[in-house]
């Protein structure tokens, strides 16, 4: 008789916790629906970086060591650490398919194939990319840039 | 029986405290606006060149921060030259940060109250700063 009473009480604990869970999830979903998804900046950032690199190549004389990483970041006034963590860059010249090319002038980061996947655009794990082609003198350049940076919420 | 009721009550209080904390964080859409302002400021820094003097309308951000009791204006916008990072704080407890790739330093960060005008002629608060050549040893500027 006593045990039956305990069973009823245990069931009500689960019901209580379940109700709290449902209310909590409802409030969280409601807030996110109300405010919408965050502002996805990745494509803008990839385009900005692509533009900056394009301008840098156009404005500078392309010497032999221009595309060596240290020299390139210094000449183009780009922050190596930030780009290494948040962006990808590939610069090609004279190749058909820069995304799949085995040889490039400069590679920062990896997984350039993701820039060619249509389905990757909705996947937050992949970078969003910008691809641009231009000529300087007789040389044709192709620049692929991508961004995988999201805002960070820190305590403070 | 009494023990059972007390434990329900404790659980309920913890639950509502958690929900209240979450809702307070979202008050006035602070999280969304922090994200927006951090990214817009980064966009301008990334696009800028050495020697540029920039002023942005940040009126909405300052209004939200005041409503959420972030009273010190220097707390709202933080630009860290050493870490190449912009942080925006519009509610107590948390801030949203985003990195810029342009190799420059941002100096003279100043919040000018009521010195700008929007399209309707209303006074707005401006965030002004200068872009200078990257120094070897960066520092916090706001």
Name the burial class of residue B141, with classes exposed (0-12), middle (13-18) and buried (19+) by CB atoms within 10 angstroms of its CB: middle
Across the interface, of A31, A77, A79, the residue whose CB is closest to B26 is A31
Across the interface, of B23, B94, B102, the residue whose CB is closest to A153 is B94
Whole-number pLDDT of residue A147 = 95
Q: Name chain B contacts of A79, Cβ cutoff 8 Å.
A: 84, 100-103
Does the CB of A1 have a partner CB in chain B at under 8 Å? no
HEC letters along B96-132: EEEECCECEEEEEEEEEEEEEECCCCCEEEEEEEEEE
Average pLDDT on A137-142 reads 91
Task: Determine the Cα–Cα distance for residues B112 and B18; give it in Å rounded to an integer.
Answer: 36
Interface test with A, best of B1, B9, B45, B101 (most A CBs within 10 A): B101
Residue whose pair of structure tokens reads 């400069």 in the numeric block:
A106
Whole-number pLDDT of residue B78 = 94
pLDDT at A8 over 70: no
Whole-number pLDDT of residue A6 = 65
**pLDDT tens, per residue, chain B with 142 residues:** 666 788 888 989 999 999 888 887 777 788 889 999 999 999 999 999 999 999 999 999 999 999 888 878 789 999 999 999 999 999 888 899 999 999 999 999 999 988 877 778 888 999 999 999 998 754 455 4
Give which of A51, A90, A100, A85 is closest to A67, Cα–Cα: A90
H/E run at residue A130:
strand A128-136
Does the CB of A26 have a partner CB in chain B at under 8 Å? no
Across the interface, of A16, A49, A77, the residue whose CB is closest to B103 is A77
| ipTM metric | 0.80
Whole-number pLDDT of residue A2 = 54
Whole-number pLDDT of residue B110 = 93
Measure Cα distances from A91 to A43, A52, A95, A139, A140 in Å: 18, 13, 10, 12, 11
pLDDT at A131 over 90: yes
Are residues B36 and A39, on separate chains, in Cβ contact within 8 Å? yes
Task: Determine the Cα–Cα distance for residues A83 and A77; give it in Å rounded to an integer.
Answer: 11
Residue A127, number of CB atoms within 10 A of its CB:
25
Residues of B (50-109) whose Cβ lies below 8 Å from A = 84, 87, 89, 93-104
Torsions phi, psi for A143 (to 5 deg): -115, 125
User: How many interface pairs between A and B have CB atoms less than 8 angstroms apart?
Assistant: 101
Task: Determine the Cα–Cα distance for residues B126 and B59; give it in Å rounded to an integer.
Answer: 7
Whole-number pLDDT of residue A80 = 94
* Cα-Cα-Cα-Cα dihedral sign, residues B106, B112, B116, B118: positive
Chain B residue whose CA is closest to A81: B101
Model confidence, pTM: 0.82
Are residues B23 and A24, on separate chains, in Cβ contact within 8 Å? no
């Amino acid at each position: 008789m006593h045990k039956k009473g305990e069973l009823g009480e245990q069931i009500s604990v689960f019901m209580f916790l379940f109700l709290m869970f449902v209310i909590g999830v409802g409030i969280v979903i409601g807030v996110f629906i109300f405010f919408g998804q965050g502002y996805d900046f990745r494509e803008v950032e990839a385009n900005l970086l692509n533009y900056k690199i394009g301008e840098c190549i156009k404005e500078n004389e392309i010497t032999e060591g221009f595309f060596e990483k240290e020299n390139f970041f210094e000449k183009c006034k780009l922050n190596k650490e930030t780009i290494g963590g948040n962006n990808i860059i590939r610069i090609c010249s004279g190749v058909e398919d820069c995304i799949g090319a085995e040889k490039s002038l400069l590679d920062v980061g990896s997984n350039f194939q993701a820039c060619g996947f249509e389905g990757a655009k909705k996947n937050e794990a992949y970078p969003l990319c910008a691809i641009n082609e231009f000529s300087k003198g007789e040389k044709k350049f192709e620049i692929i840039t991508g961004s995988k940076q999201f805002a960070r919420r820190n305590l403070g | 029986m009494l023990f059972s009721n007390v434990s329900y009550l404790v659980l309920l209080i913890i639950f509502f405290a958690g929900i209240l904390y979450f809702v307070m964080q979202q008050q006035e859409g602070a999280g969304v606006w922090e994200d927006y302002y951090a990214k817009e400021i980064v966009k301008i820094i990334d696009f800028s060149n050495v020697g540029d003097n920039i002023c942005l309308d940040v009126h909405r951000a300052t209004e939200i921060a005041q409503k959420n009791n972030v009273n010190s204006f220097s707390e709202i916008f933080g630009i860290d030259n050493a870490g190449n990072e912009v942080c925006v704080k519009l509610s107590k407890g948390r801030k949203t940060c985003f990195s810029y790739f342009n190799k420059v330093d941002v100096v003279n960060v100043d919040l000018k109250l009521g010195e700008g005008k929007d399209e309707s002629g209303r006074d707005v608060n401006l965030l002004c700063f200068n872009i200078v050549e990257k120094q070897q040893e960066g520092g916090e500027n706001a």
